[in-house]
Amino acid sequence: MRATGLTDRATSSFEPVGVTARYRRPPAGVDPDPTKSRTRRIWPLLAARRWPFITAIGLSFLSLVLQVQVPNLLNQAIDRSVQGHQVPLEHYVVIVAVIGGLVGICGFVSRWLLFRVAYDFEFDLRNLIYEHLSAMSFSFYDRVQSGQLISRANSDIRSVQMYATFAPLILVQCGIGVVAFCFMLSISVPLALVAMSVMPFLFWAGIRMRHVMFPISWIIQARLAEVATLVDENVNGVRVVRSFAQEGREVGQLADASAAVAWAYEKDADLRARFTPIMQNLPQVGLALVLLFGGWMVIHGTVGIGAILAFNAYLLMLQAPFMMLGMLIMMGQRAGASAERIFEVLDERPDVVERPGAIDLEVPAGRVEFTDVSFSYGSGPTIIEDVSLTLAPGETVALVGRTGSGKSTLARLLLRFYDVDSGSIAIDGTDVADVTLPSLRAQVGVVTDEPFLFSASVADNIAYGRPDATRDEVVAAATAANAHGFITGLADGYDTVVGERGYTLSGGQRQRIAIARALLVNPPILLLDDATSAIDVHVEQLIHDALEGLLAERTTLVVAHRLSTIALADRVALLEDGRITATGTHAELLATVPVYADVLAHVADDVADHVADEPTDGRGA
């Protein structure tokens, strides 16, 4: 039953099997220094596209400068052509028309460029976050909620992007106020001062608004993330929710979370309602003042009627930027809160990192040595204590222990999902801490206790670790894992797409696909964690027949729950509360270690429970 192509290892050195990423790498990262301001930290990403960005802003500025000419032209046209008859009116008409055309072209090009920069920036930021997440250690995923990450990678990025790219544009447009002010000054200094006398109030309102908006923006983003988490858990945990008939409670919780979001949005709207009219209408007050003093000045002959019209046009021109200024402040507050949430993720450092100068682990003979290994999750209790265990090349060792004794943890340490607190783990004498992570994980195959399938075809799931594998190789691996039979019975055979997390398959079927997946990579060292607990005795026997051939060539650490699995092993190690208390053959342990028989009896009971329950929620995956 040994499959061809699985046991011959042609290559003698590590070759990365992962598909090389084919996306455009971000041209720059964010500044890693957390003491700097958020804007300065984001800046390198924008600076990388500074030319289209500056061109867009420059053109936008140009178009505003051109627009600003119009009221002054109007002033002149009224005074010189309509009233004074010194210059033909067509002269002004042509100039205004040309300005209109230029403004249109500038507006088009600058928008076109700016939107490109905006979406490129968003693309880069999102890739940065995903790259970062893919480097994070398992301890990080043990504590974060996926909904939080999803919302940070979506809505938070969007709000930062909007602000980073559009704020400069709006600022430029506000800057036009300065230009307009100069024009007003050139027409009449006193009238210009009167018109702009409302500015300090506007400034004050802006500062106040900034101050009160930030906390609420933060609350909104945080609560949106809570809703995302709840939805995520309800979709993934739907089987648990339904089986305990807790739909009502879950809907209630979601309603509470939505109500909290609504409350925050209402507060936000409330604040906006207070500040926006002030920000928007202060220029109108300026207009009224211009009418009052300007009218008085026209009556006394100090300025012409054209001046009042020009001032009117200038103040109207200021209206739009001022409205946007209010928006800008709100966007800025939301973006600030979002950026902080994004940096919270980006500032997380992985615990398990490759040492500088780490080497690739060459295809090993397969000697695995745990030496005085101790480990605890974070600051929790000690889970593994002074474990020393050596697996000779090609040897199969069964790890036996009560539930919670640390068997899966020991397996995770060998894969370097976590780093040991003290002691060392070596493969062929090389400490796993000194080798590159991809090479380590390429040489150590694993079937975890929670087989995870992607919603892809069965063949793609099996070929996950070696996407270039041929169909024959996939079939060979499936045959070795005794999955070929049931796979050909599926509607589309190997091309059957399984439901999310493989829910359209039975637990045992999932597990056999996971075994095939590990076997296809043909690793010299194999970790089987609970690999056969969800499989019935008959099928298990078939797998064992297949495994027997495969195990002969590789070093295997198998977490054993059944006598039949233990029978595959050359040696048994008994793990009690994180300590290895005995090693030897099954027969030796049975004869000399009374606890062993005791543990075996308990383990068998656990297994009976295991087989009955399907892994349903997978939250802790």
Ligand X SMILES: Nc1ncnc2c1ncn2[C@@H]1O[C@H](COP(=O)(O)OP(=O)(O)OP(=O)(O)O)[C@@H](O)[C@H]1O
User: Which positions lie near Mg ion, rule CB under 5 A?
Assistant: 408, 449
Residue number of the CB atom closest to Mg ion: 408
The 346-365 site mask, x for binding ligand X (CB under 6 A), equals: --------------------
141 touching ligand X, by CB under 6 A: no
The 435-474 site mask, x for binding ligand X (CB under 6 A), equals: --------------x-------------------------
Residue 368 — φ and ψ, nearest 5°? -115, 125
Closest CA to 262 of 299, 216, 310: 216
609 touching ligand X, by CB under 6 A: no
Residue 552 — φ and ψ, nearest 5°? -55, -30
294 touching ligand X, by CB under 6 A: no
To the nearest whole angstrom, how small is the minimum distance from the Cβ of residue 31 to Mg ion?
42
To the nearest whole angstrom, how small is the minimum distance from the Cβ of residue 411 to Mg ion?
8
Cβ(575)–Cβ(505) under 8 Å?
no
Q: Which is nearer to Mg ion, 209 or 400 (CB)?
A: 400
332 binds, among ligand X, Mg ion, none (CB under 5 to 8 A by kind): none
407 touching ligand X, by CB under 6 A: yes
524 touching ligand X, by CB under 6 A: no
Q: Which is nearer to ligand X, 155 or 448 (CB)?
A: 448
Amino acid (one-letter) located at 186: S
Closest CA to 176 of 281, 108, 103, 112: 103
615 touching ligand X, by CB under 6 A: no
Closest CA to 71 of 272, 313, 304: 313
Q: Which stretch binds ligand X (CB under 6 A): 21-29, 55-63, 266-274, 398-406?
A: 398-406
- The DSSP output letter for 155 is I
Q: Which is nearer to ligand X, 219 or 560 (CB)?
A: 560
416 touching ligand X, by CB under 6 A: no
Q: Vertex 501, ends 497 and 506: CA angle to 5°? A: 80
To the nearest whole angstrom, how small is the minimum distance from the Cβ of residue 608 to ligand X?
13
Instruction: Give the Cα separation of 333 and 268 in Å (integer).
Output: 11
424 touching ligand X, by CB under 6 A: no
Q: Vertex 590, ends 588 and 596: CA angle to 5°? A: 120
Residue 445 — φ and ψ, nearest 5°? -85, 150
Q: Could you tell me the strand order of the sheet in which 422-427 lies?
A: 382-391, 368-376, 422-427, 430-431
Q: Which stretch binds ligand X (CB under 6 A): 95-103, 121-129, 158-166, 396-404?
A: 396-404
To the nearest whole angstrom, how small is the minimum distance from the Cβ of residue 233 to ligand X?
18
Cβ(574)–Cβ(582) under 8 Å?
yes
Q: Which is nearer to ligand X, 344 or 606 (CB)?
A: 606
406 binds, among Mg ion, ligand X, none (CB under 5 to 8 A by kind): ligand X
Q: Which is nearer to ligand X, 63 or 532 (CB)?
A: 532
Q: Which is nearer to ligand X, 267 or 610 (CB)?
A: 610
142 touching ligand X, by CB under 6 A: yes
Instruction: Give the Cα separation of 589 and 320 in Å (integer).
Output: 84
Q: Which is nearer to ligand X, 149 or 383 (CB)?
A: 383
Cβ(38)–Cβ(57) under 8 Å?
no
Q: Which is nearer to ligand X, 202 or 560 (CB)?
A: 560
Q: Vertex 487, ends 481 and 493: CA angle to 5°? A: 140
To the nearest whole angstrom, how small is the minimum distance from the Cβ of residue 141 to ligand X?
9
To the nearest whole angstrom, how small is the minimum distance from the Cβ of residue 404 to Mg ion?
8
Q: Which stretch binds ligand X (CB under 6 A): 11-19, 215-223, 296-304, 397-405?
A: 397-405
Structure tokens that stand for 456 in this block: 């892809």
Q: Which of residues 222-251 bind ligand X (CB under 6 A)?
A: none
Q: Which is nearer to Mg ion, 229 or 408 (CB)?
A: 408
To the nearest whole angstrom, how small is the minimum distance from the Cβ of residue 237 to ligand X?
18
End-to-end Cα distance, the chain: 33
To the nearest whole angstrom, how small is the minimum distance from the Cβ of residue 405 to ligand X?
4
To the nearest whole angstrom, how small is the minimum distance from the Cβ of residue 598 to ligand X?
15
Pairing state between β 396-401 and 422-427: unpaired
Q: Residue 435 forms beta bridges with which residues?
A: 359
Is the dihedral angle over the CA atoms 112, 117, 122, 124 positive or is it negative? positive
To the nearest whole angstrom, how small is the minimum distance from the Cβ of residue 233 to Mg ion?
23
Structure tokens that stand for 434 in this block: 């000194």
Which of 154, 253, 403, 457 binds ligand X (CB under 6 A)? It is 403
Which of 216, 383, 480, 535 binds ligand X (CB under 6 A)? It is 383
For helices 305-346 and 247-299, what crossing angle results, to 10°?
150
Which of 336, 406, 445, 502 binds ligand X (CB under 6 A)? It is 406
414 touching ligand X, by CB under 6 A: no
Alpha-carbon 328 to chain mean position: 26
- The DSSP output letter for 532 is T
Closest CA to 538 of 476, 611, 587, 488: 611
- The DSSP output letter for 15 is -
465 binds, among ligand X, Mg ion, none (CB under 5 to 8 A by kind): none
Instruction: Give the Cα separation of 385 and 121 in Å (integer).
Output: 48
26 binds, among Mg ion, ligand X, none (CB under 5 to 8 A by kind): none
Q: Which is nearer to ligand X, 6 or 607 (CB)?
A: 607
Structure tokens that stand for 392 in this block: 């000779």
To the nearest whole angstrom, how small is the minimum distance from the Cβ of residue 394 to ligand X?
25
Instruction: Give the Cα separation of 509 and 532 in Å (integer).
Output: 10
374 touching ligand X, by CB under 6 A: no
578: left (phi over 0), alpha (psi -120 to 50) or beta: left
List residues near ligand X by CB under 6 A. 142, 377, 380, 383, 401, 403-409, 449
